[in-house]
Structure 1
Amino acid sequence: MEILLTNDDGADAAGLVGLYEELTALGDVTVVAPAENQSGVGRTRSHAVVRREHPWGYELTGTPADCVAYGLRGLDTDFDLVVSGCNHGPNAGNYVTGRSGTVGAGIEAAFLGTPAVAVSAYHHEDFFPDPPGAYDFGRPARVTTEVCRHAREVDLLAPGTLLNVNVPLDVADPPMRRTIPYPDYDLHVEHDADPAAVEAVEALGRDGEVDTGEEGTLVRMHDAVWPGTVGFENPFPPTDRQRDRYPVGTDRRALVDGEVSVSPLSIDHDDVESEALAALVDAYNEANAPEKSS
């Protein structure tokens, strides 16, 4: 196999190194990865990037989606598969999956007609593997290699295929479950926020100083991507409360149970038949039909 490997944690991240070492058992692996951490950028693309040599390929001053786009259209290799990861932390749930740079790389690959596997690692007790260098990413790398091997054997690697995989770092021989991303998300808004409490105020473009002017109000919008969680505690502990919250068959329940979660994702935005939508279209057309001349 010809495999394009990328991630969103950076070209020298521990998760990517672990994947590269394992995936070479399946074929030739070419790395095209971001020069710096690009977590949470989703499928963001750039108009131009800088390419530099990397021992296993290239690194770009761009996003994971940039890396995939360049690898699939800028290199002479005809890649059979794109693997994105291994992310330092899980990507589970509709909202998190949608903003993930790891998954965003896989979406870009799917749109460009190449099957992709996005893989993320979580710790069943610690949740986030931080700092990453203190954790062994060997198990997620081995599971990913097996997923890719079996996917090829069962002819699952068709154009447009995208699998989102979450693997526990600390569970020996974890079972695998086919899952769906669970929609669980909230947002907290704080008016007249304390500038000192606003994270990454540099993102406001004022070199760390917030100037609201005479009439401006500093508004802090805090994502609650793990509702019900306080601070950095594990949002998916193996408790009855969490098992009641997340049904069996969802990616988040798999994390509660220490399983490997495999979610097939779609790039067609769930184009499903809907009687209600059909009725809306009919009602609109009927109400706005031009009068026919007699």
Structure 2
Amino acid sequence: MRILLSNDDGVHSPGLIALYEGLEGIGDLEVVAPDRDHSGASNALTLSRPLTVEQHPNGYYSVDGTPTDCVHLAVNGLFEEPFDRVVSGINTHANLGDDIIYSGTVAAATEGRHLGLPAIAVSLVNDGQFHYDTAARVVRMILEAGRPLALGPRSILNVNVPDLPWDELKGFRVTRLGHRGRAEGAVPMTCPRGKQRYWIGAAGEDSDAGAGTDFQAVREGYVSITPVHVDMTRHEAMRRLSDWVGELGFGEGHTS
């Protein structure tokens, strides 16, 4: 098995290093990750300039671009030998519910899936203990499963691991995405040159975190595994929308 590892926290992130060490021996591992922290980059591709790739003494590759750039380059030109799957992480904080819209960790995994590879995004629900080894062991267990999992097109697994020692995990739960409430307000500051600047406010508290959600699972000590589909169409709204559009009066007899 040939596995591409990436992340959004940067090539020197302890979560990425722990993931590599935890998967050693499972197959042929290659690391291609951003040269710096790109948290919140979502699925951005760099199209305005060429990208620089650097190989480090430990064999890891860094790219001066986004997580999506890293996976795209790795799969589409950096290596001659193809990959079998992509694993993105271990992210230093949770990617629960609406977090996945902004997450560079999830974006790296979805880029792998766009390019035809099974993909997993894994995050540590960090409470300051930094049990990256637990999250790495979870990924290894998933990859070594006796029966392959077929999710269907444009689907990935979003995995969130409680920040606990391995023997304190309660198990695994298949979950749905919960939802966060409104984000906190922007935080104003003044730069050394006297100009007004702003920090983006913190993510909102969970508002849909009940039964079956990823929020509930990790809160109760379970690994949350959520199948995520990139198709963002709200299919159940199609009929209502069609009826509404039909009432706009823009029919076959329309002339410009």
Q: CA deviation at 1:290?
A: 4.0
Which amino acid is the alignment partner of residue 143 of structure 1? V
Verify: 1:153 aligned to 2:147, yes or no: yes
Q: CA deviation at 1:173?
A: 3.3
Verify: 1:114 aligned to 2:114, yes or no: no
2:193 corresponds to: 209
1:260-294 deviations in whole A, cap 9, x for unaligned?
A: 0111111111452432122123333xx1114389x
1:50 corresponds to: 52
Equivalent pair of 1:33/1:60 in contact (CA under 8 Å): yes
C-alpha RMSD of matched pairs (Å): 2.6
Verify: 1:183 aligned to 2:179, yes or no: yes
3-state DSSP class of the match of 1:29? Answer: strand
Normalised by the length of structure 2, the TM-score is 0.86
Query: Aligned equivalents of 2:253 and 2:36: distance in 1?
Result: 61
1:145-189 deviations in whole A, cap 9, x for unaligned?
A: 111222x72333665331110112315233111111112231344
Verify: 1:266 aligned to 2:229, yes or no: yes
Q: CA deviation at 1:56?
A: 3.0
3-state DSSP class of the match of 1:254? Answer: helix
Could you tell me which of 73, 77, 80 is aligned with 2:81? 77
Equivalent pair of 1:114/1:160 in contact (CA under 8 Å): no
Query: Aligned equivalents of 1:181 and 1:157: distance in 2?
Result: 16
Task: State the structure with more CA Rg.
Answer: 1
When residues 51 and 257 of structure 1 are mapped into structure 2, their CA distance, relative to the original with a 3 A threshold, is: same
Could you tell me which of 91, 94, 110 is aligned with 1:90? 94
Which amino acid is the alignment partner of residue 214 of structure 2? D
Query: Aligned equivalents of 2:12 and 2:202: distance in 1?
Result: 29
When residues 136 and 282 of structure 1 are mapped into structure 2, their CA distance, relative to the original with a 3 A threshold, is: same
Equivalent pair of 1:186/1:223 in contact (CA under 8 Å): no
Query: Aligned equivalents of 1:114 and 1:184: distance in 2?
Result: 30
Judging by fraction of residues, say which structure has more strand.
2
1:225-271 deviations in whole A, cap 9, x for unaligned?
A: 2327xxxxxxxxxxxxx9xx621211111121121011111111145
Q: CA deviation at 1:79?
A: 0.8
Query: Aligned equivalents of 1:3 and 1:37: distance in 2?
Result: 22
Equivalent pair of 1:179/1:249 in contact (CA under 8 Å): yes
Unaligned runs of at least 5 residues, structure 1: 130-134, 202-207, 213-217, 229-241
When residues 30 and 90 of structure 1 are mapped into structure 2, their CA distance, relative to the original with a 3 A threshold, is: same
Verify: 1:33 aligned to 2:33, yes or no: yes
2:201 corresponds to: 223
Unaligned runs of at least 5 residues, structure 2: none
- The runs of at least 4 consecutive aligned structure 1 residues that moved more than 6 Å come to none
Q: CA deviation at 1:92?
A: 0.6
Query: Aligned equivalents of 1:292 and 1:119: distance in 2?
Result: 52
1:283 corresponds to: 247
When residues 41 and 29 of structure 1 are mapped into structure 2, their CA distance, relative to the original with a 3 A threshold, is: same
Query: Aligned equivalents of 1:40 and 1:272: distance in 2?
Result: 27
